[in-house]
Structure 1
Amino acid sequence: MTTTCEDNNLNNADSETFSISNYRRDSSHCFYQNRVIQPLLTDLYQITMAYAYWKSGKTHDVAVFDLFFRNNPFHGEFTIFAGLEECLKFLKNFHYSVGDINYLKTVLPDGVEEEFFEYLGKLTAKEVTVYALDEGSVAFPRVPLIKLEGPLIIVQLLETTLLTLVNYASLMATNAARYRIVAGPVVKLLEFGLRRAQGPDGGLSSSKYAYIGGFDGTSNVLAGKLFNIPVKGTHAHAYITSFSGFDELTNKELPHNHSGITADLLELSIEHRRNLSSVLHISTAEANDGELAAMVSFAIAFPNGFMALVDTYDVKRSGILNFCSVALALNDQGYKPVGIRIDSGDLAYLSCLARQSFVKIAEDYDLPWFADLTIVASNDINEETILSLNEQGHKIDCFGIGTHLVTCQKQPALGCVYKLVEINNQPRIKLSQDVDKVTMPGKKTAFRLYGTEGWAVIDILQKDDEEPPQVGKKVLCRHPFHESKRAFVTPARVETLYKVWWKDGAIRQPIPTLEDVRNRVQESLQTLRHDHLRHLNPTPYKVAVSDNLYNFLHDLWLQNQPIGELS
């Protein structure tokens, strides 16, 4: 969870109490990381393995680990890689404090030597090298998101923390990207999930990665402050129901936006409501006076940003009429309202009804802008809801999405894993009766091959010492486990997927801004054919291995697979 120094007024000590006490500052890059992200944010068995490694004399062993996932989430065929920045900051800050060591002494068995704790106290990530995809890139199963090389004990200790930093971030960014795809490029998407998220840290992370995935703003004020995300919001039903009649309005006057001449906004609204009754064919007797009073009150408070919740009582018989009355009153005083939010009911029908009303008023009052007032819809919206609304021809300009977005309703975890693939230059493989769980051994690199039409065609994994694919030259691409599945690909463009992000104790690439990562997501998705992105039965994107890696994998498999004996 990061923010730039410019986003926070560091001179204002009172306003920075939360950030200073809960976020650790990185002086060289001027950003923050939640203090919860530390070496002890790990599983106990990482510490016990570290001791066993140390006890076995493996302090100088050099290991290579791959962090990857086996299946795309949400029954889709793509994943957005996110969380890299947090991983890099964790590596930069990696160090066991005196307090950490003292605590571990109470957790580990009494027989653990003092020398081991001294060893732990000196550990840093300076000897680790990290290769990774660009954050915000589209990624696919088996292609490592991150590759780590370094002392065995250290890279082992990094496992759990790196997984927790990547798993939810990538899942959340992918979920948000899927919402963006079904909503289309024009409709605005706002994240409203803080109150339903898995705790405060989950709420902040969901706001950040929803924005990266393609959402336009958040209701989360702290996320706006920390990450410079646009903050949006209106009011709750409680605001409307807190007014029961006109007599509760103590302030009814609003100065004209240009002349400064004040007018009674309630009187103007009542007059417009009376006139609009015949225009919209809605009886004023059915409209709720408390709702009108609440809207007038809110409009006086926010004349340049008036957006009202219209479903507290009845959208058709009360909400739309009252809103339009106040909107016209604001227009009389030189202001333009923003629009409405609908939080319940038949969203397609009600949005069409609202738009028809706005268009009618625009024509009758010669106010063209009135036809384009914003309609926001919320109410437990998920992907299927948006797809259904699209089929029904809704007139919604913006969706406010909370629960199903931040909790990742369809799939609560991505399932990234962290596997040892080489130690001391010797490849390692994990076997399983479940072929999907067989690991790709050895140091590898990956390339994305593009066809003549510009689309990404296939990702290919190959051994680290192989020549990279060349534009215009045939490349034999093989399925890692099915011998007969193979094809030649002649790439029109070849993209190297990995960069060195961390080496010799320093970040080796410029850290992209949140906006850069957000743009990267959309650019990366645009390289995929539509059939890979569609909601129903998407076409799987192909991930292959080179012929050399295929043979290497299967030779090592046979070497390590016990030979059965029948009798």
Structure 2
Amino acid sequence: MTTAKETDRLRENRELSPTPADESLLTDLYQLTMAACYVGEGVDRKPACFELFARKLPGNFGYAIAMGLTQALEYLENLRFDPSQIEALKNLGIFKQAPERFWSVLAEARFEGDVWAVPEGTAVFPNEPLLRVEAPLWQAQIVETYLLNTINYQTLIATRAARMRDMAGPEVKLLEFGTRRAFSPQAALWAARAALAAGFDATSNVLGALKLGREPSGTMAHALIMAIAAIDEDEDAAFEAFGRYFPGAPLLIDTYDTVAAAKRLAEKVKAGQMEIKGVRLDSGDLAELSKQVRSLLPPQVAILASGDIDEAEIARLKAANAPIDGYGVGTKLVSGTPFNGVYKLVEIDGIPVMKKSSSKLTYPGRKQVYRILEDGKMKCDRLQLMDEGDKNGGESVSLLQLVMKSGRRVKDPETLAEIADRTAASVASLPPHSRRPEDPELPGFETSEALETLRKQVSQRY
């Protein structure tokens, strides 16, 4: 006889790495319970419009870089519920009173909606939609969690990467080293993609690099130095051993005495005993150490720095004239204050709606964002209703573009290089005060008269 404990163990699936087929259930429970309620009330097919935006940016961000759209569209195109998933939901007591038609709705599920979005690599600001979903109510509702997950995280990483690239300049090498610090294996892959798309040169994540058509890049850990040095009683033996198998790979020289290691390596290079293309510094006063190492090693030997690097540290090292040719960035890139994007209903069955909660007011109706430029530089952004059209004149660009029609993408995904070029151009167009690594200021933001009038009308309705 099977005990209750054994039954629970049989039900428990310890494999927590999701496959693409799992993604329909990779959601919050309330998305499914709301969808069931919509079906029961007969409103599940009502046309709905949701917009994804951030009310504010993380501290010290003067802009954000939109990212994650590619994965969001892949998810929408592949949204399905297979029989085993539906059966698993039926077996939950939560759904025992759900309408019977809910199960057939799930069984036949295909995303049928239109999606408007800001292209990846575009600078965005608070209260501006990054993405708009127009679809039958239950479909537009159920995709909220996954869309927020991929867009919020990748936008955070892309923003930090763009700020680091902006501070470092175009010639300095930037390497993404954050896999061990990312919030999950999936997040590590998304972080690698977002960093590359925002201007980084390479990632140490092997799977991420291969999936993204790039070559992974890395150096070595202190463990190799300590292991071989302990056995041979000679740190240089570790350098020589690694160089035999991976010629040209940067050598990590701060395990014991950074300057002493640099002096010995310089002597070996001068004597023709070793060829060194780069060294990495991972601790200590990076500005002072890099200057000492630079004075010892030939000029063609690149100096790479790592160890809690962020945009402010890069700016500090540049101000100190540290001769650093590249940075390996991990923790400060893949973690930090989240980009807190939200996904809110703005129209249902043609009726504009808004949220009136204290400090969480939203703008009703379908909207477009126009970027007003002056001599190619950003002057301000203007938020207005979608049907107003471009009344801004001069240099203005509409940011939200149609990217999916009736559940199918309208064009092929962009390459990482194309997105990185857009990121660089978008950041370069921003006012200097928005690009500061410390105490940045947001650029100008306006709303149209028609949008403000609608907001007052909808607010009075409630």
Task: Specify if TM > 0.5.
Answer: yes
Following the alignment from structure 1 to structure 2, what is the Cα–Cα distance between the partners of residues 66 and 37?
Answer: 25
Residue 341 in 1 paired to residue 280 in 2? yes
Question: What amino acid is aligned across from residue 399 of structure 2 in structure 1?
Answer: L
Change (3 A) 1:111 1:539: closer
Q: 1:426 aligns with which of 340, 351, 355?
A: 351
Equivalent position of 2:455 in the other structure: 553
Q: Match for residue 376 of structure 1?
A: 304
1:326 is displaced (CA, Å) by 3.3
Q: State the partner residue of 1:357.
A: 296
Residue 297 of structure 1: aligned partner: 241
In 2: Cα distance, 1:470 partner to 1:530 partner: 23
Q: CA RMSD in A?
A: 1.9
Give the letter aligned to residue 343 of structure 1.
Answer: D
* Partner amino acid, structure 1, of 2:427: L
Partners of 2:310 and 2:157 lie apart in 1 by: 14
SS of residue paired to 1:38: helix
1-structure distance, mates of 2:409, 2:28: 26
Paired position in structure 2 for 1:445: 368
Partner of 1:457: 379
User: What pairs with 1:473-492 in structure 2 (closer than 5 Å)?
Assistant: 492=394
Percent identical: 36
Pairing partner for 1:399 from 324, 327, 332: 327
- Alignment partner for residue 125 of structure 2, among 140, 157, 166? 140
TM-score by length of 1: 0.75
For residues 339 and 461 of structure 2, the distance between their equivalents in structure 1, rounded to whole angstroms, comes to 32
Please tell me the residue identity of whatever aligns with 1:237: H
> Match for residue 218 of structure 1?
203
Asked whether the equivalents of residues 372 and 392 of structure 2 are also in contact (C-alpha less than 8 Å), the reply is: no
Alignment of 1:81-120 (within 5 A): 81-107=66-92, 108-120=94-106
- CA–CA distance in 1 between the matches of 2:418 and 2:448? 32
The structure-2 alpha-carbon separation of the partners of 1:110 and 1:559, relative to structure 1 and needing over 3 Å to count, comes to closer
Amino acid at match of 2:90: K
Are the equivalent residues in 2 in contact too, given 1:455–1:529 (CA < 8 A)? yes
Moved over 6 A (4+): none
How far does residue 512 in structure 1 lie from its aligned partner after superposition?
Answer: 0.4
Where do 1:55-204 residues align within 5 Å? Answer: 55-107=40-92, 108-126=94-112, 128-204=113-189
Residues in 2 aligned to 1:462 and 1:297: alpha-carbon distance in whole angstroms = 63
Please list the CA deviations of residues 473-525 of structure 1 after superposition, one character each: whole Å capped at 9, or x if unmatched: xxxxxxxxxxxxxxxxxxx3111112111112311123101111111111111
1:100 deviates by 1.2
Q: Any idea what the Cα deviations from partners look like across 1:505-560, whole Å, max 9, x if unmatched? A: 31112310111111111111111121211123323212211111111112221232
Q: Is the 8 A contact 1:211 1:229 kept in 2?
A: no
Who wins on radius of gyration, i.e. which is larger? 1
Q: What's the TM-score, normalizing by structure 2? A: 0.92
Deviation, 1:470, is 4.5
Moved more, 170-179 or 106-115: 106-115
1:209 alignment partner in structure 2: 194
Contact preservation (8 Å) 1:219, 1:232: yes
Mapped pair 1:322 → 2:290: no
Distance 1:531 1:37, change over 3 A: farther
Could you report, residue by residue, the CA deviation over 1:270-324 in whole angstroms, capped at 9, with x for unpaired residues?
A: xxxxxxxxxxxxxxxxxxx611222222222233x142111121112x2112222
Letter in 1 for 2:377: W
Cα deviation code 1:346-391 (max 9, x no counterpart): 1111100011112xxxxxxxxxxx3231001112222332232223
Q: Any conservation in 2 of the 1:216–1:230 contact (CA below 8 Å)?
A: no
Using a 3 Å threshold, how does the CA distance of structure 1 residues 44 and 310 change in structure 2: closer, same or farther? same
8 Å Cα contact 1:428/1:442 also seen in 2: yes
CA distance in 2, matches of 1:509, 1:150: 19
Inter-partner Cα distance in structure 1 for 2:212 and 2:249: 26
SS of residue paired to 2:74: helix
Q: Which structure 1 segments of 5+ residues have no match?
A: 1-21, 24-33, 249-288, 359-369, 472-491, 561-567
Is the Cα–Cα contact under 8 Å of residues 337 and 373 in structure 1 kept in the other structure? yes
- For residues 358 and 223 of structure 2, the distance between their equivalents in structure 1, rounded to whole angstroms, comes to 57
Between the two proteins, the alignment pairs up a number of residues equal to 445
Q: Which residue of 2 aligns with 1:311?
A: 254
1:175 is displaced (CA, Å) by 1.1
Between 1:90-99 and 1:337-346, the stretch displaced more is: 337-346
Distance 1:194 1:467 in 2: 44
Say which SS state the counterpart of residue 24 (structure 2) adopts: coil
Distance 1:470 1:544 in 2: 11
> Could you list the runs of 5+ residues in structure 2 that have no partner in the other structure?
1-16
Question: Matched residues in 1 for 2:49 and 2:131: separation?
Answer: 11
Q: 1:535 to 1:125 in 2, by over 3 A?
A: same
Q: Distance in 2 between matches of 1:347 and 1:328?
A: 25
| Cα distance in structure 2, aligned partners of 1:136 and 1:168 | 14
Aligned residues of 1:190 and 1:217 also touching (Cα < 8 A): yes
Cα distance in structure 1, aligned partners of 2:372 and 2:334: 33
- Aligned in 2, Cα 1:36/1:76: closer, same or farther, shift over 3 Å? farther
Superposition deviation, residue 37 in structure 1: 6.0
